[in-house]
Amino acid sequence: MVSIAGSKKLKRQMAPQFWGINRKTKRFVVTVRPGAHKKALSIPTAVFLRDTLKMVESLREAKTAIYSGRVKVDGVVRKSLHHGIGLMDVVELQDVSDIYRLVPTSGKILKPVKINESDKSKKIVRVTSKTSIKGGKTQLGFHDGRSLISDTEVNVGDSCLIQIPEVKILEVLKLEKDSQVLVTQGVNAGSVGKIENIEEGTFILPRRILLSLEERTIEIPSDFVTVIGKGEPVIQIK
């Protein structure tokens, strides 16, 4: 059997702050294996259950819950302690009524928020790549590692409201003036603002967004925002 790449553990002192772990108990903690989300922008399933939600008290209890198929991420049962749960992912736990979506909140890159039952089959994904493939078709790549062959008119930087786990595009959310966006990284993570202007990138600088946040305006790289709607967010994020 071929082994999966990547280490199974990480020194606690090196773990991202948003994991919410205690750094002074043991030396190592379960880490994220290579997968859908970037390692620095996701939480391993075992840590999510034990330290973020505090649903279990030990790694052994987390293993029991995960290996028995009690954890669903985006409607799919995940049986790996190291599966990375990231931005906009929907998490369901067997025999638990609460459903969670991971979003940035109050400066934290990821935090679980409770959502309604009606919202668990919807998810916003940011388009990160657009490639022409054989047959004149277009393949879209999303921030959560998914890819989809589609004729939908969409550009890199736009967002798509998709149905999960089927990955069916329900609506395209354009990155354009007056769109509502969620800041996903940096000190303003979790803030929701309106796009005032878009500055195209140069050889040196990336594309930048002039964003209105309540009583102030900031300039931020376009990769740090995700479109969530025009007037109001199309899904529950708070």
Q: What is the CATH number of the domain that holds 104?
A: 3.10.290.10
Tell me the per-residue pLDDT of 43-91, one tens digit each, with 9 for 90 and over. Answer: 999 999 999 999 999 999 999 999 999 999 999 999 999 999 999 999 9
Per the prediction, the chain carries an average pLDDT of 92
- For residue 238, give both structure tokens: 């708070």
> How many folded domains does the chain comprise?
3
Alpha-carbon Rg of the chain, whole angstroms?
Answer: 18
> Are the C-beta atoms of 62 and 22 separated by less than 8 Å?
no
Task: Tell me the residue range of the domain where 205 lies.
Answer: 180-229
Cβ burial, residue 104 (10 Å; 0-12/13-18/19+):
buried
Q: What are phi and psi of 155, to 5 degrees?
A: -120, 160
For residue 70, give the nearest of 91, 87, 86 by alpha carbon.
91
**Percent of the residues in the chain that have a pLDDT greater than 90, as a whole number:** 75
User: pLDDT band at residue 231, thresholds of 50, 70 and 90?
Assistant: confident
Residue 145: give its domain's CATH number. Answer: 2.40.50.740
Asked whether residue 23 falls in the same domain as residue 86, the answer is yes
Asked whether residue 160 falls in the same domain as residue 206, the answer is no
Tell me the per-residue pLDDT of 141-178, one tens digit each, with 9 for 90 and over. Answer: 999 999 999 999 999 999 999 999 999 999 999 999 99
For residue 6, give the nearest of 107, 60, 82, 70 by alpha carbon.
82
